[in-house]
Amino acid sequence: MIVVTGAFGFIGSNLVKALNKMGRTDIIAVDDLTEGVKFRNLADCQIQDYYDKKEFLNYITRDPLGYNLKNKIDTIFHQGACSTTTEWDGKYMMENNFTYSKILLDFAQTHHIPFMYASSAAVYGNSKIFKESPENERPLNVYGYSKLLFDQYVRSLKNKGSQIVGLRYFNVYGPNEQHKGSMASVAYHLSQQIKAKGKIKLFEGCEGYANGEQRRDFIYVEDVVAINLFMMQNPGVSGIFNAGTGNSQTFNEVANAVISYSQNGLLEYIPFPEHLKGHYQSYTQADISLLRSVGYTCEFKTVEQGVKDYLNQNENTI
């Protein structure tokens, strides 16, 4: 049996779909469905059971069902978290992203269950070196700090009882992210702008970058899922790894990919928001040498390839 937390979310739902394609339907989906529209992300999937995130934590820590579960779970994919980078309620953020993760990891370690979890490239902040090493980690917001603190907790464990893999997701985009609102990807927002007004708006230049030339490591969600599945299939691999393409591309390139797919649209630039100054990553590019060193050899989609596939899927699901 496989547990996927955040199962109705963006990456979690894509992971469940991929597991179904592998023939795995023995999946426990854990999430908070207060935002009920997320049900659509798994409406065409098969799962064995669903637990609210708080209910699941109670079960594995106190309820007898938790003791029954431990002998049936063979992998935990912990994707659930508060991913709102503009959220400044530190108590809420730490409860969701740090404390919950600690309890779940301790359960996994006690019962020798492989544990794959979502970290984030937000731990690097304004660093110019994106390599999995403490001297490069300087988060700009409490979201990034919550992810870094859990990475540090993982590093502090001296006697690891089973596989632990942390994946530092860079800028992920793809199907099933529509519920994320302002936290959805650039590709999603630009495609919505084209549909609504036939026009794309990007930020003007900042921190030495020309208009729309800020660069990010954009990774398609299918590639992120593939890395997760690789880790599950290689139980001897543990550690914290960057999950990016190793190649940065500009926001202009994303915009042009959307315009090319839509075959229409204008591009204009708007002033850079004051509230984001000092809290914004203008450049990210994953160093994926550690990921490659453990045998991950798959190639990654470029923005041009990924955006085309993404928007084509969106059209076919309308």
Which of the residues 180, 199, 201, 308 is marked catalytic?
180
Give the model's confidence band at 205: pLDDT under 50 very low, under 70 low, under 90 confident, else very high: confident
Q: Residue range 276-293: average pLDDT?
A: 89
State the CATH number of the domain containing residue 188: 3.90.25.10
The verdict on 164 and 182 lying in the same domain is no
- Can you tell me whether residue 123 is helix, strand or coil? helix
Task: Give the distance from CA 254 to its chain's centroid.
Answer: 19
Is 308 a residue of the active site? Answer: no
The verdict on 109 and 253 lying in the same domain is no
The verdict on 12 and 161 lying in the same domain is yes
State the CATH number of the domain containing residue 107: 3.40.50.720
Domain boundaries, position 193: 178-215+248-283+305-317
Q: Residue range 163-181: average pLDDT?
A: 94
The verdict on 42 and 16 lying in the same domain is yes
Structure tokens at 70: 């431990």
The verdict on 150 and 201 lying in the same domain is no
Which of the residues 51, 59, 117, 143 is marked catalytic?
143
The verdict on 162 and 292 lying in the same domain is yes
Sorted by sequence, the CB contacts under 8 Å of residue 30 that are 6+ apart come out as: 3, 4, 5, 6, 7, 50, 51, 52, 53, 56, 80
Digit-coded pLDDT (tens) for 207-225: 889 999 999 999 999 999 9
Is 50 a residue of the active site? Answer: no
Residue 244 above 60 pLDDT? Answer: yes
Q: Residue range 160-185: average pLDDT?
A: 92
Cα separations in angstroms, 300 against 55, 117, 243, 314: 37, 20, 11, 20
Q: Is 138 left (phi over 0), alpha (psi -120 to 50) or beta?
A: beta
Residue 127 above 80 pLDDT? Answer: yes
pTM (2 d.p.): 0.94
Tally of structural domains, the chain:
2
The verdict on 190 and 80 lying in the same domain is no
